[in-house]
Amino acid sequence: MALSFGRMTRPVGLGLAVALGATLSLGAAASASATTEQPATSVAAQRVKVYELVTKDGGFFYTASESEKQSAIAKHGWSTTQTPLYYLSSAPFTGGKPLFRLRWSKKASYLVTASVAEREKLVGSGDFRYEGILGYAPGSAGAGGSVKVNRLSNDNKWRLAIESHTQKILANEPGWKLDGPLLFQFGTAR
């Protein structure tokens, strides 16, 4: 089941070996691609909506590409969820960190991480395939992030949730546990 990855990008040259560790981080991990300084208006103009879809295997899939979302729906029968998610930047910016998307090899279940160390450990295990950079998220509220995002897990399924929705999932959907904070999202398109 191959999808075309419209806006997904792969970083060039990962550089020195990365220490292994599966800890989610709000910035402790080194960025796999350098962030470049861009004017605030430029960053705002590059904001893209993040979509969550449910795969036929019951996993969750994330994309910031409208065409990739439509392809997943049309070709694979995946459906969008009502989970509230907001905006990422499609290009690096000062204070931004890349979010990496990985696919679990056993089923159509996807994991998003901001940690280079976690990405390398999971890919190195042979259980995950690296699919590229989903987008660039504010590493802090000071970098423009107004919406805190967490990652949750449940038996080889992973999902993202804004802070207010995280509590609803944990209270109403048995089996989900909080992995920890991921990064932030922009609350508005501009």
Q: Which pLDDT tens digit goes with each residue over 8-60?
A: 544 433 322 222 222 233 333 333 333 444 455 456 669 999 999 999 999 99
Number of domains in the chain: 1
In a domain, 13, yes or no: no
Please give the backbone phi and psi of residue 17, each rounded to the nearest 5 degrees, phi first.
-60, 145
- Residue 184: strand, helix, or coil: strand
| Size of the chain, expressed as the number of residues it contains | 190
In this structure, what token pair is assigned to residue 146?
């107004």
User: How high is the pLDDT of residue 14?
Assistant: 31
In a domain, 33, yes or no: no
Element at 167 (helix H, strand E): helix 163-172
Distance CA 71, CA 142 (A): 35
Residue whose token pair is 């036929």: 56
DSSP state of 36: -
Per the structure, the complete domain to which residue 129 belongs is given by 47-186
Mean pLDDT of the chain: 82
